[in-house]
Structure 1
Amino acid sequence: MSPTSAFAGFRFPPEVIVVAVRWYLRFNLSYRDVEELLGERGVEVDHVTVYRWVQRFTPLLVDAARFCQHSPGDRWHVDETYVKVNGVWRYVYRAVDQAGQVIDVLVSARRDAGAARRFFRRALSALKATPAEVVTDAAAVYPGVLDELIPSAWHRVEQYANNPIEADHSQLKHRLRPMRGLRTDKTAQVIIGGHAFMQNLRRGHYELAVDAPPALRVAAAFTELAQGI
């Protein structure tokens, strides 16, 4: 292992760390579930360590995958949903394109123009792409923010037009259900961002492991990405 590797200094080998992170992001598992599954395979690791691995390596894997991510479509569906973080409701801004690719996510304590502005700036900066059409609900903050940041885009507000993103929220809620609560905004951002990454990977929005059989593509992609961090 290279001394510059993100895995340098960790007691467990990269293969174990990566599989633990992948299981947690891919399946409806708690950290204790992952601990138990690893234990059945002769790897004794505490669930707190699994938590630390997920928090440390998920952002690194997501960043490494950006170079392989497909360009998003030109129609973005944007909406907010709610999650509880340490017992307090937080807003989660999310966007998907017309092909179902999750464009970005942002956990915010507020639902206002400032949060919407941060979300769009993140998305535009990360993907270096500008949509031709943005579909939102009727929230009053969106017209001003979009006129400021994406003046060329057609802002569409229409009943049922945002069904794609509203349906996609249910995937996130389903994943969060087995967890015993999100403790901080930072950890929530990592987990929800990791869920979006896994969703995109499974839907084929990355040029990763393209020669692997479909059932093994996610595992192969994680192996490829681990070699790059």
Structure 2
Amino acid sequence: MMEERGLNISPSTIYRWVQHYAPEIQKKVSYFLKSTNSYWYLDETYVKVKGKWLYLYRAIDSNKNTIDFYLSKTRNHKAAKLFLTKLLNKKNTYEPKSITVDANHSYTNNIIEQYHRRVKWKTKDAMDYHSYKTAYNTIRGIETINMLFKGQLYHLHKSSPINIKYFIERQFNLPTPDYIF
């Protein structure tokens, strides 16, 4: 996209932008998140950090809206409890009526498995994160942008790239140019 506009930007510059702005955008976006429903799907997948696999716990509701994620070094009851506590303390969630996990073979949890693919596809270019912080911030950015495109925010009526651009510009008090690239 940048080359089409005559700009030459190195991947390390984009990396630095993601590390700096992903947490800021998530903070701004969290204020406008619509409430999720009370039917949750929880699952985990793996992300490689410093050559070791970490566990990426993710939760969505039955409308496929992202609730949150949690990156952990362990896959045990303590990590699951921390993640569930994090979910229950979010201001845009209701107490769940049901939580579907993939541990029970009688459940089909394909709804969330499809969303793992999106995160995996976006993170494959990173190949191997060099620290927990860089992995967390990158995934934070990916999840936040996905929330924007899924229309999970109040005041963002249509989740087109142009509307998302204007929304982010307003949140950071950036001047909106008269032209669109």
Q: TM-score range by the shorter chain?
A: 0.7 to 0.9
User: Distance between the aligned counterparts of 2:2 and 2:110, measured in 1?
Assistant: 39
Matched, 1:94 2:58: yes
Kindly provide the CA deviation profile for residues 104-152 of structure 1, in whole angstroms up to 9, marking residues without a partner as x.
Answer: 11111100011111111222223353211111122xxxxxxxxxxxxxx
Coordinate RMSD, CA, aligned: 2.2
User: Distance between the aligned counterparts of 2:129 and 2:64, measured in 1?
Assistant: 26
1:217 corresponds in structure 2 to 163
2:131 corresponds in structure 1 to 184
What is the one-letter code of the residue matched to 1:74?
Answer: S
What is the one-letter code of the residue matched to 1:183?
Answer: H
Gaps of 5+ in 2: 175-181
User: Distance between the aligned counterparts of 1:73 and 1:115, measured in 2?
Assistant: 23
Aligned pairs (5 A) from 1:76-91: 76-91=40-55
Count of aligned pairs between the two proteins: 173
The TM-score with structure 2 as length reference comes to: 0.84
* Aligned residues of 2:36 and 2:67 also touching (Cα < 8 A): yes
2:82 pairs, out of 110, 114, 118, with 118
* Aligned residues of 1:208 and 1:224 also touching (Cα < 8 A): no
3-state SS, counterpart of residue 43 of structure 2: strand
User: Distance between the aligned counterparts of 2:166 and 2:155, measured in 1?
Assistant: 8
What is the one-letter code of the residue matched to 1:220?
Answer: Y
1:132 corresponds in structure 2 to 97
3-state SS, counterpart of residue 48 of structure 2: strand
1:206 corresponds in structure 2 to 153
2:141 corresponds in structure 1 to 194
3-state SS, counterpart of residue 223 of structure 1: helix
Deviation at 1:178, TM superposition (A): 2.1
* Aligned residues of 1:92 and 1:105 also touching (Cα < 8 A): yes
- Residues 161, 188 of structure 1: alpha-carbon distance in 2 compared, 3 angstrom cutoff: same
Kindly provide the CA deviation profile for residues 204-229 of structure 1, in whole angstroms up to 9, marking residues without a partner as x.
Answer: 1112442x68342222222122229x
User: Distance between the aligned counterparts of 2:85 and 2:173, measured in 1?
Assistant: 30
Q: Say which structure is richer in helix.
A: 1
What is the one-letter code of the residue matched to 1:136?
Answer: V
Gaps of 5+ in 1: 1-36, 139-156
3-state SS, counterpart of residue 198 of structure 1: helix
* Aligned residues of 2:39 and 2:62 also touching (Cα < 8 A): yes
Percent of matched pairs sharing the same residue? 29
* Aligned residues of 1:104 and 1:193 also touching (Cα < 8 A): no
2:177 corresponds in structure 1 to none
User: Distance between the aligned counterparts of 1:172 and 1:80, measured in 2?
Assistant: 12
The TM-score with structure 1 as length reference comes to: 0.68
